[in-house]
Structure 1
Amino acid sequence: MDRISQLPEPIVHHILSLSGSRELVRMSVASKTWFQLTASFPSLDFRMDELTKGLHVDFTIYNFTKGLHVSRQTFFKYVDYTTSRMCQQNVTAHKLTIVTNIREPAELDTVNRCLELLLKKGVTKLEINLSEFAQIFLRKTPSFAPKPKPMPTYVLPNILLSVSVLESLIISGCELPSSFMVDALKFKSLIRLQLEYVHIDDEMINYLTTSCPLLKEFSLSSCHGFKRFCVNGHQNLELLDIDCDSQVEMIDIETPNLLGLKVRDTAGRGPPGMKVALCKNLTSVTYIGYPLPNSNDFADFLSKFSCAESLVLFINKKYRCNTLKLSSHSLRKLVIDSEFDLEEIELSTPNLGLFIYSNPLSFWVKAMHLPHLEACMRCHTDGSLDTLWLQKLRLFLDKKNGFKALNLYIHTKRVCFFDQIVHKFIVLGKLKVNELAPYELEHIELHFKHEESSNYAAFVDAVLLCFRPQSLTLRFPLIDFKDQSDLAKFTYEKLLEQENQEHTNIEIVLPSSSKAQKLFRGSVLYDVLPCEEKAISFTKEKGTLFYELIL
Structure 2
Amino acid sequence: MEPIAPLLQRPKLSDDDPMDNRNKFSDLPEPIIHHIFSFLETIDVIRASAVATNWRFLWTRMPHLSFNGGGSWLEPSRQELTDVTVYERYKDLINWVLMTHDKSVSIQSFRLVCRNNDDDHSVYRWINILAQKHVRELHLQVTSQTETPFTLPRYLIASDSLEILGLELHQSVLTIPSHVGFSRLKSLKLMDTKLLDQVLFQNFISSCPLLEALSLRGCLFHDFKVLDISLRNLRKLVIDNGYCGDPFEEGLRECDLKIACPNLVQFTLWGPLAKNISWDKNPYSLQAAMIFSYSWEWDELDDVSLHEEFADHMLKILRGVCHAEVLTLQMSILEYIHPAVARPECFTTFYNLKELVLSILMLEGHLQSLIYLMKCAPNLQCLSVFIEEYESACDYILEIPDEAIECLTCHLKRVKLIDIGYYDDHDLELIRFFLKNGHVLEEMSIIWLKHLKQEFRRETTQEVMRFPRSSSNVTVTFSEPTQFGWNLSENYPKQI
Query: What is the TM-score when the length of structure 2 is the normalising length?
Result: 0.68
- Report the counterpart of residue 129 of structure 2 in structure 1: 117
Is 2:479 the counterpart of 1:476? yes
> Following TM superposition, by how much is the alpha carbon of 1:76 offset from its aligned partner in structure 2, in angstroms?
2.9
> 1:468-498 CA distances to partner (integer Å, 9 max, x unpaired)?
36333324359xxxxxxxxxxxxxxxxxxxx
> 1:161-201 CA distances to partner (integer Å, 9 max, x unpaired)?
111111111122165566x216x54x332111122314253
> 1:137-173 CA distances to partner (integer Å, 9 max, x unpaired)?
xxxxxxxxxxxx5341232332111111111111221
SS of the residue corresponding to residue 203 of structure 1 reads helix
Q: Structure 1 pair 18/249, CA: closer, same or farther in 2 (3 Å)?
A: closer
Is 2:239 the counterpart of 1:242? yes
- Report the counterpart of residue 287 of structure 1 in structure 2: 291
> 1:212-234 CA distances to partner (integer Å, 9 max, x unpaired)?
222211222314243323355x4
> Following TM superposition, by how much is the alpha carbon of 1:114 offset from its aligned partner in structure 2, in angstroms?
1.6
1: CA distance, partners of 2:433 / 2:53: 78
1: CA distance, partners of 2:35 / 2:321: 43
> Following TM superposition, by how much is the alpha carbon of 1:115 offset from its aligned partner in structure 2, in angstroms?
1.4
Question: Residues 255 and 274 of structure 2 are in contact (CA less than 8 Å); yes or no, is this contact kept in structure 1?
Answer: no
Question: Residues 359 and 385 of structure 2 are in contact (CA less than 8 Å); yes or no, is this contact kept in structure 1?
Answer: no
Question: Residues 194 and 220 of structure 2 are in contact (CA less than 8 Å); yes or no, is this contact kept in structure 1?
Answer: yes
> Following TM superposition, by how much is the alpha carbon of 1:27 offset from its aligned partner in structure 2, in angstroms?
1.1
1: CA distance, partners of 2:107 / 2:72: 25
> 1:10-51 CA distances to partner (integer Å, 9 max, x unpaired)?
122122124345532431455664341112101111112xx4
Aligned pair count? 414
> Following TM superposition, by how much is the alpha carbon of 1:120 offset from its aligned partner in structure 2, in angstroms?
1.8
> Following TM superposition, by how much is the alpha carbon of 1:342 offset from its aligned partner in structure 2, in angstroms?
1.5
Is 2:267 the counterpart of 1:230? no
The 5-angstrom pairing of residues 196-215 of structure 1 reads 196=191, 197-199=193-195, 201-215=197-211
- Report the counterpart of residue 188 of structure 1 in structure 2: 183
Question: Residues 50 and 56 of structure 2 are in contact (CA less than 8 Å); yes or no, is this contact kept in structure 1?
Answer: yes
SS of the residue corresponding to residue 164 of structure 1 reads coil
Q: Structure 1 pair 410/30, CA: closer, same or farther in 2 (3 Å)?
A: same
Which of 400, 404, 422 is the aligned partner of 1:395? 400
Q: Structure 1 pair 25/456, CA: closer, same or farther in 2 (3 Å)?
A: farther
2: CA distance, partners of 1:15 / 1:256: 38
2: CA distance, partners of 1:330 / 1:418: 33
1: CA distance, partners of 2:374 / 2:423: 31
Question: Residues 12 and 37 of structure 1 are in contact (CA less than 8 Å); yes or no, is this contact kept in structure 2?
Answer: no
Is 2:279 the counterpart of 1:275? yes
2: CA distance, partners of 1:432 / 1:276: 42
2: CA distance, partners of 1:335 / 1:436: 18
Which of 155, 168, 171 is the aligned partner of 1:159? 155
Question: Residues 198 and 226 of structure 2 are in contact (CA less than 8 Å); yes or no, is this contact kept in structure 1?
Answer: yes
2: CA distance, partners of 1:246 / 1:437: 38
Question: Residues 400 and 433 of structure 2 are in contact (CA less than 8 Å); yes or no, is this contact kept in structure 1?
Answer: no
- Report the counterpart of residue 84 of structure 1 in structure 2: 99
> Following TM superposition, by how much is the alpha carbon of 1:109 offset from its aligned partner in structure 2, in angstroms?
3.0
- Report the counterpart of residue 439 of structure 1 in structure 2: 436
SS of the residue corresponding to residue 199 of structure 2 reads helix
SS of the residue corresponding to residue 195 of structure 2 reads coil
2: CA distance, partners of 1:465 / 1:390: 24
Question: Residues 106 and 134 of structure 2 are in contact (CA less than 8 Å); yes or no, is this contact kept in structure 1?
Answer: yes
Question: Residues 265 and 271 of structure 1 are in contact (CA less than 8 Å); yes or no, is this contact kept in structure 2?
Answer: no
Runs of 5+ consecutive residues of structure 2 not aligned to the other structure: 1-21, 241-250, 299-306, 342-346, 482-490, 492-496
Q: Which letter does structure 1 place at the counterpart of 2:258?
A: I
2: CA distance, partners of 1:436 / 1:194: 44
Q: Which letter does structure 1 place at the counterpart of 2:134?
A: G
- Report the counterpart of residue 41 of structure 1 in structure 2: 62
Q: Structure 1 pair 112/127, CA: closer, same or farther in 2 (3 Å)?
A: same
Is 2:375 the counterpart of 1:342? no
Question: Residues 126 and 170 of structure 1 are in contact (CA less than 8 Å); yes or no, is this contact kept in structure 2?
Answer: yes
Which of 76, 86, 90 is the aligned partner of 1:75? 90
SS of the residue corresponding to residue 439 of structure 1 reads helix
- Structure with the bigger RCO (C-alpha within 8 Å, sep 6+) is 2
2: CA distance, partners of 1:390 / 1:33: 74
Is 2:139 the counterpart of 1:127? yes
2: CA distance, partners of 1:211 / 1:23: 39
- Report the counterpart of residue 379 of structure 1 in structure 2: 385
Q: Structure 1 pair 248/25, CA: closer, same or farther in 2 (3 Å)?
A: farther
Q: Structure 1 pair 194/43, CA: closer, same or farther in 2 (3 Å)?
A: same
> Following TM superposition, by how much is the alpha carbon of 1:117 offset from its aligned partner in structure 2, in angstroms?
1.4
SS of the residue corresponding to residue 37 of structure 2 reads helix
2: CA distance, partners of 1:385 / 1:176: 45
Question: Residues 156 and 175 of structure 1 are in contact (CA less than 8 Å); yes or no, is this contact kept in structure 2?
Answer: no
The 5-angstrom pairing of residues 456-475 of structure 1 reads 456-464=457-465, 468=469, 470=472, 471-475=474-478
2: CA distance, partners of 1:44 / 1:155: 22
Question: Residues 171 and 195 of structure 1 are in contact (CA less than 8 Å); yes or no, is this contact kept in structure 2?
Answer: yes
Q: Structure 1 pair 176/90, CA: closer, same or farther in 2 (3 Å)?
A: farther
The 5-angstrom pairing of residues 479-518 of structure 1 reads none
* Paired-residue identity, %: 17
1: CA distance, partners of 2:99 / 2:175: 23
2: CA distance, partners of 1:382 / 1:286: 18
Q: Which letter does structure 1 place at the counterpart of 2:225?
A: K
Question: Residues 407 and 447 of structure 1 are in contact (CA less than 8 Å); yes or no, is this contact kept in structure 2?
Answer: no
> Following TM superposition, by how much is the alpha carbon of 1:274 offset from its aligned partner in structure 2, in angstroms?
0.9
Is 2:146 the counterpart of 1:150? yes
Q: Which letter does structure 1 place at the counterpart of 2:187?
A: R
> Following TM superposition, by how much is the alpha carbon of 1:397 offset from its aligned partner in structure 2, in angstroms?
6.3
The 5-angstrom pairing of residues 308-457 of structure 1 reads 308-316=324-332, 320=336, 322-323=338-339, 325=341, 326-332=347-353, 333-337=355-359, 339=361, 341-345=366-370, 346-347=372-373, 349=375, 351-354=377-380, 375-383=381-389, 392=398, 395=400, 398=403, 400=405, 402-403=407-408, 404-405=412-413, 407-411=415-419, 415=422, 417=424, 439-441=436-438, 442-443=441-442, 444-448=444-448, 450=450, 453-457=454-458
2: CA distance, partners of 1:236 / 1:73: 42
Deviates more, 1:68-77 or 1:37-46: 68-77
Q: Structure 1 pair 390/20, CA: closer, same or farther in 2 (3 Å)?
A: farther
Q: Structure 1 pair 321/238, CA: closer, same or farther in 2 (3 Å)?
A: closer
Runs of 5+ consecutive residues of structure 1 not aligned to the other structure: 133-148, 355-374, 420-427, 479-523, 525-551
Q: Structure 1 pair 396/189, CA: closer, same or farther in 2 (3 Å)?
A: farther
2: CA distance, partners of 1:214 / 1:33: 40
> Following TM superposition, by how much is the alpha carbon of 1:458 offset from its aligned partner in structure 2, in angstroms?
1.9
